[in-house]
A and B are shown apart, each in its own frame.
Chain A
Amino acid sequence: MTEPVLTVENVTMRFGGIVANQNVNFKVDKGAITALIGPNGAGKTTLFNCITGFYRASEGRIVLSTAEGPRDIGALLSRPIVGGSHLVTRAGIARTFQNIRLFREMTVVENLLVAQHLDTEANLLSGVFKSAVFRRAEAEAVERAFYWLGQMNLVDDANRLAGELPYGRQRRLEIARAMCTSPRLICLDEPAAGLNPAETIELSEVIQRLRADHDLTVMVIEHDMHLVMSISDHVVVFDHGVVIADGTPKEVANDPAVVAAYLGVEEKEVAE
C-alpha cells in the first residue's frame, strides 16, 4: 500500500485572477480510498477536473503511475493535435460527475457499450459486413456490460433508457460505466448526493467491493461525513483552495484546523 498511484505536486489552478487551488500536494496510495472533503467552493471539484484532464493545472504536476511507467497528466493534455482529456481516461483515470451525466436517451447497456469503445473499435468495413471478428468483439462487450450490471445490481434495468431510471440507480450506472473503461483510479464526485440512507449504505458497500475485488484505487469527493469516515483510508481537507489537513480519518477529525475552518464556520452560522 505504499506505492502512490497518483501524485499531486504543487498544483495551482487559476481562473483569471481567481485562485481555485493553491500549491496543493498529496499522494493517493494504491488500493486506498482517498476522500477529498471541504466546504462548498473549497476547490475540490476543480482539483478533480485537473486530475481527470478537464482542466490543465496552471502550475505543478499531476503524475499517474501506470503499468507502462509514470504519466504526466498535463503533458497528455498539451500533446499537439492528438492531445486531450480522452488520453487521461485511456491512461487509467475514470470519473463520475456531481450532476449525473448519462446518455439519457440510450439504453443502460448502450451506455456501458459506449464506455468500451476502445476494446470494440474494430475497423469500419468489418463492422459493415459483420465479420466474425466484429461479432466476437461485440458479444464480449455485451458480456462485460452485463458483468458490471450484475456487480451494480442493475441487470433488470438493462434494456431501459438510462434517463428513465430512478436517481439512485443512475448513480450506480454512472459508476458501472466508468468501470467499463478498466480504470486504475476512479474519481467519484459526490456519489452520495441525493441518495437516501439505505442507498448510501449500498453505495459504500459498492465502493468497498470495487476496491477489494478489482484492484482499484478510489478517490471520492463527499459531503456525507458518516460515509467519508466509515470508508476512507485517507482524508484530504480543503478550504479556500488549500489543503489544511491530510491524514487518516481519525487524525483529520481531531485536527484543530479542520474543526475551526470546516465545522467552526457552520457553528457560527447557527449562532447567527
Chain B
Amino acid sequence: MDNAKIPAKLLKEAVFTFVLSLIVFGPISGLVLTGFTVENKLARPLIIASVVTIGRVLFTLFLETSLGRRLIARMAGTAGSGVTVESGNERFPYAAVAIAFAVGLAFPLMADEYWLGVAILALIYVLLGLGLNIVVGLAGLLDLGFVAFYAVGAYLLALGAQYLGLGFWGALALAPLIAAFCGMVLAFPVLRMHGDYLAIVTLGFGEIIRLVLNNWLDFTGGPNGAAVPAPTFLGLEFTRTARQGGTPFHEFFGISYSADYKFWFIYLVLFLVVAAVIYVVNRLKSMPIGRLWEALREDEIACRSLGVNHVATKLSAFMLGASTGGVAGVFFAVHQGFVNPTSFTFFESALILAIVVLGGLGSTLGVVMAALVLTILPEVLRDFAEYRVLVFGILMVVMMVWRPRGLVRIKRPAFFPSSAPAAVPALAAAEAAQ
C-alpha cells in the first residue's frame, strides 16, 4: 500500500473497531446488576474499547513494516495450493529421528506419573490419527465413525479377558485383525458413496457400535463397563504380589516395588508400536498402494480409467486404518484398566478428525504433531480452568484461518531417471516454434 493512504486507513479502522467493541462490551461490562437495580459503569467499556482499538492500530502498523509484509507474504504463500515438490536433494534427517527416538524412549525416566499418563494418552491419539489419516488424508474417504474401531480394540481386550482368558499380548496381536474385519464390514455398504453420504453412514456406524456396547448388558456390562486385566511382561505381573502365582516383575529383577512400572511398560510398548506404525505408514505412502489411495482421493473416475480396482483400493484403506485404530483401543483399555461406552462418543471421532485435518491431510509428521498438540494442550491449559475449552476452540479456529492446509505442508517426492531420456526431435522443434 502506498504510504500516503495509511493515516486515513488507520483512522477508519480505529473508529470502526472502537464502535464495534463498544457495542460488544457495552452491555456486558457497562451495566452491572446489583440486587434489583442496574448500575451504570460506562467508563469500563470505554476503557476496554480503547485498549482494543490501540491494539488494532498497532497491529495494522506492524503489518505495514517490512517484517509484517514478509509475514503476510509467507501466509499468502502457504494459503495457496499447500503442496510442494521436493528438489531431490533432501536427505533423510537421520540425526533428528534418532534423537526423537532416544528422547521418546528415555521419557519415562524424566517424567512423573501424571505426565507419563498424558504421554500415553498422547501416543494413543497419535496412533488414532495415523490410522484415520490413511482413510481421510490419503484415500479421501471422510470417516466420522472412526471411534468404532477404537472401541472394538478396547472391548476386545476387556471382553476377551473376561470370556476367553485373552491377555494383553494376545489382544494386541488380534486387535488389528478383528478391527480390520469390522472395517471391511463397514466398508462394503459405503463403497459406492462419496463425501457427505459416506460421512453420515460412518457416523451411524460409530453410534451403532456405541449403542450396542451400552445396551447389551449381559455381554458387555452396558454402562457399567468392563474391567481390563493388567498387562504382563513375559508372564511377570506388575502388581505388588502376584495374583496368579509366579513372581511379580519387581521381585524377579530384585528391585523395590513401584506402581509406575506398569505405566513405564505400557509407555515403552506403545512407543515402539507408534514408531513401527509411523515407519509403515511412511513406506505405504511411497508404495503403489499409497499412490493409488492418493490418486483415488484426487479423481476416482480417472483411476477407474487406468484399471484401478477402486473397490479393493478403498477397502484396503478402510481396513488398514481400522486395524491401527484397533491397536490404539487395546492400549487405551490396558492403560485405563477399565472400559465403558462413554469413552467412545462422537466427540472422540471429531477430535481424531481434528487431529488429521490440523496436521495436514496426508502428512504423517503433521498428524503426529497435531496429536501431541491437541492432547497436551488441554493439559497445559488447565491453568485457564473453565475457559480451557474456549481457548482450545479459539486456537483451532486461528490455526485453520492461518494454515488451512494443516500444520505441515505436504511434500511430494521427486523422481529422476537413471539416464536422460532422448527427447523426440520433431516435438522439440514444434515446441521451440511456439
Q: What is A's interface to B at a CB cutoff of 8 Å?
A: 52-54, 82, 84-90, 94-95, 97, 101-107, 109-111, 113-115, 117-118, 120-122, 124, 127-128, 130, 134, 139, 142-143, 145-147, 149-153, 155, 158-161, 163-164, 177-178, 180-181, 196, 198-199, 201-202, 205-206, 209
Contacts and interface: CB of A to CB of B under 8 A. Distances in A.
Contact of A128 (B86, B284, B303, B433): B284
Contacts of B307: 86-90, 117-118, 181
A89 B306 contact: yes
A106 B295 contact: yes
Nearest to B412: A107
Nearest to B83: A105
Contact of B412 (A114, A128, A161): A161
Contacts of A113: 288, 291, 415
A109 B291 CA distance: 11
A105 B433 contact: no
A161 B414 CA distance: 10
Given A149-B421, A159-B88, A117 B306 contact: yes
Contacts of A163: 81
Contacts of B65: none
Contacts of B85: 107, 159-161
Interface in B274-328: 279-280, 283-284, 287-289, 291-292, 294-295, 298-299, 301-311
A107 B412 CA distance: 7
Contacts of B415: 107, 109-110, 113, 142, 145-146, 158-159
B418 interface: yes
Contacts of A107: 85, 412-415
Given A86-B308, A90-B307, A94-B305, A103 B287 contact: no
Interface of B: 81, 83, 85-86, 88, 279-280, 283-284, 287-289, 291-292, 294-295, 298-299, 301-311, 410, 412-418, 420-424, 426-428, 430-431, 433-434
25 contacts: A84-B310, A85-B305, A86-B308, A89-B307, A97-B302, A102-B299, A106-B295, A107-B412, A110-B413, A114-B295, A117-B306, A122-B288, A127-B288, A128-B280, A130-B283, A142-B417, A145-B415, A150-B421, A153-B428, A153-B431, A159-B85, A159-B86, A164-B81, A201-B430, A209-B424
Given A153-B428, A155-B420, A103 B288 contact: no
A153 B414 contact: no
Contacts of B301: 54, 97, 101
B425 to A, nearest CB: 10
B412 A106 contact: yes
Contact of A127 (B289, B309, B427, B430): B289
Nearest to A92: B307
Nearest to A163: B81
Given A110-B412, A127-B283, A104 B298 contact: yes
B304 A202 contact: no
A128 B31 CA distance: 66
Given A85-B305, A143-B418, A150 B289 contact: no
A22 to B, nearest CB: 26
Contacts of A118: 307
A109 B433 CA distance: 26
Given A54-B304, A86-B304, 15 more contacts: A54-B301, A82-B309, A94-B306, A101-B299, A103-B294, A103-B298, A120-B288, A128-B283, A142-B415, A142-B416, A145-B415, A153-B423, A159-B88, A178-B306, A181-B307
A205 B426 contact: yes
A93 to B, nearest CB: 9
Contacts of B427: 152-153, 202, 205-206
A102 B301 CA distance: 10
Nearest to A124: B289
A115 B216 CA distance: 48
B427 to A, nearest CB: 4
Contact of A198 (B413, B421, B434): B434
B417 A146 contact: yes
Contacts of A147: 421
B421 A117 contact: no
A198 B427 CA distance: 11
B424 A151 contact: yes
Which 6 A-B pairs have CB atoms at the shortest separation, nearest pair first? Answer: A89-B307, A150-B421, A146-B417, A103-B298, A127-B287, A101-B302
A14 B302 CA distance: 24
Contacts of B305: 52, 54, 85, 89, 94-95, 97, 101, 178
Nearest to A150: B421
Contacts of A53: 304
Contacts of A205: 426-427, 430
Contacts of B420: 155
**Most chain A beta-carbon contacts within 10 A, residue among B86, B302, B310, B423:** B302
